[in-house]
Structure 1
Amino acid sequence: MALIVLALAVRMVGMTIVNDHAIDAFGNGRYGPSSTGFERLQTANVLERWVAPFNRGDSLYEQKRYGQAAEEFRRALGLASADRSCMVRVNLVLTIESIGDAKLAAKSLQDAVHSYQSALSIVDAASCPLGTTQHTGEQLAQAYAEIVAKLKALDAKPQPKPSQTNPKQPQPQPPPDNKGSKLQERNDRAQRADRQHQDQDKQGHTEFHERW
């Protein structure tokens, strides 16, 4: 038993070092090394398995690797506890919305509509109440409204059948992307909250970053 406890303690020290380096890289805009560090933690953190793919998804998002980021957030969503799932879902919805924006910019109307509708379905599947500390319910509601507005601008209903879209119609340009500044503001808030729990993190919990 003593050997198991010692081995676990050593592993947690290693996790903390890798986690700190990955978070430092993320904070300094070095998203490549950051995503690599969080990838190493995916098999190491047996206590909060959702954290590493969540953080790696953030790093991939900042590199505009939206498809890979969405995969990481889906993995995190499958691992997260009920009280964390709404936060993960917010990031997943924003990432899929960004995929839709990229498709729209590339004049791929049908793919853009499909991405937007996919994002809406993730919101519909959520049970995230309003008024919580993390405001995930409000964030999902805002994202939902923005995506519905984009679909209306494309003359597509929020949940249309495939025949209801018309790719031959004029294709509007995506609206200015202000999600980056929102994400940075949300990261800053998360970092301040993380510092308040620094003592707890030293005991084996990894930090996480929120985006908005």
Structure 2
Amino acid sequence: MTAPATTQDASAAASALLASNRRRRRIRRWIMIGTLPLTLAALLCVGKLLSMYAFAHQAVSAYVVDDYSGSEASARGQEFLNWFEPYKAPFNVGTALAGSERLPEARAKLEEALALAHGLEVCGVRVNLALVIERMGDAARSDGDGGKAAELYAEALTVTAETPPECDSDEAQKQSSDPQRDMSKSIDDLEDRLKQKQQEQEQPPQEKPEEQPEEQEQPQPQPDKLEELKDKLEQGTQERDQRQGGDEPGGSGTDKPW
């Protein structure tokens, strides 16, 4: 049998237990300190993801009801720490600016989004960018600047023509920001429309037909002159009848040649 433990042995065991506990606490503290940056980063990522979806939802909801300023404000909220899908923030801002007819600013934001987009992300960006440039061309045409309009239509056509073939796929349609819009059909219609507008601007203006001078109306004789002509006609008729009736000397009484 083991001998009973003495008081000294119990004290030593207690001291060893305390030392072990202090060592474990130090280890936990250093582990906590070491993992604190990772914990903060994880919390930041979760917060960013939640805020990104919240701002994106607000931007879309405001755009649908034509609240373009509200949509822009919500989309700009996505720009802070824009790590996840970085193209979406400038894309949403540019789309909202286009709704407000701030076309040059919208174009700049959409071009920024295009530079950040990858794969099928470029499909929707290219469609909206081409539409904005087309509307800039329409504005130039309305201002009478046909040359600038043709230049903008050509730029929009280039953006559309460089759309990857993958944008015609079902996968691209699923990733579209507007599922109600047929991506493939939108691209084809846009390209056809731009070609037609560009051709219209490149055609020389048709010359207006020269106006034919109006025919001068013959002056109508005055009533007094009419009476005078009538009297002369009657007098000539009487003289003719007299000659034909043999009133004049030497008359034969036969009709003379007219």
Residue range with higher mean Cα deviation, 51-60 or 111-120:
51-60
Q: Which of 26, 29, 42 is equivalent to 2:79?
A: 42
Shift in Å at residue 130 of structure 1? 6.7
Query: Which residue is 2:111 aligned to?
Result: 74
Query: Which residue is 1:23 aligned to?
Result: 60
Cα distance in 2 between the residues matched to 1:2 and 1:53: 29
Shift in Å at residue 99 of structure 1? 0.4
Q: RMSD in angstroms over aligned alpha carbons?
A: 2.1
Percent of paired sites with the same residue: 25
> Cα distance 1:26–1:149, how it changes in 2: closer, same or farther (>3 A)?
same
**Contact 1:128 1:137 survives alignment (8 Å):** no
1:140 and 2:210 aligned: no
Q: Tell me the secondary structure at the aligned position of residue 163 of structure 2.
A: coil
- Matched letter for residue 94 of structure 2: G
Structure 2 unpaired stretches of 5+: 1-37, 174-181, 207-258
Cα distance in 1 between the residues matched to 2:50 and 2:161: 40
Query: Which residue is 2:236 aligned to?
Result: none
Q: With structure 2 as the length reference, what TM-score do the two structures score?
A: 0.57
Structure 1 stretches (4+) deviating beyond 4 angstroms?
none
- Matched letter for residue 77 of structure 2: R
Q: Tell me the secondary structure at the aligned position of residue 46 of structure 1.
A: coil
**Contact 2:76 2:93 survives alignment (8 Å):** yes
Larger gyration radius, structure 1 or structure 2: 2
Between the two proteins, the alignment pairs up a number of residues equal to: 160
Shift in Å at residue 90 of structure 1? 0.7
Query: Which residue is 1:127 aligned to?
Result: 164
Query: Which residue is 1:104 aligned to?
Result: 141
Q: Deviations over 1:25-64 (max 9, x none)?
A: 2222211121122122123331111111111121111111
1:6 and 2:43 aligned: yes
- Matched letter for residue 13 of structure 1: L
Q: Deviations over 1:65-116 (max 9, x none)?
A: 1111111111111111111112210111111001000100011111101100
Structure 1 unpaired stretches of 5+: 157-165, 171-212
> Cα distance 1:51–1:76, how it changes in 2: closer, same or farther (>3 A)?
same
Q: With structure 1 as the length reference, what TM-score do the two structures score?
A: 0.68
**Contact 1:42 1:53 survives alignment (8 Å):** yes
> Cα distance 1:141–1:35, how it changes in 2: closer, same or farther (>3 A)?
same
Q: Tell me the secondary structure at the aligned position of residue 125 of structure 2.
A: helix
Query: Which residue is 2:176 aligned to?
Result: none
Cα distance in 2 between the residues matched to 1:130 and 1:53: 20
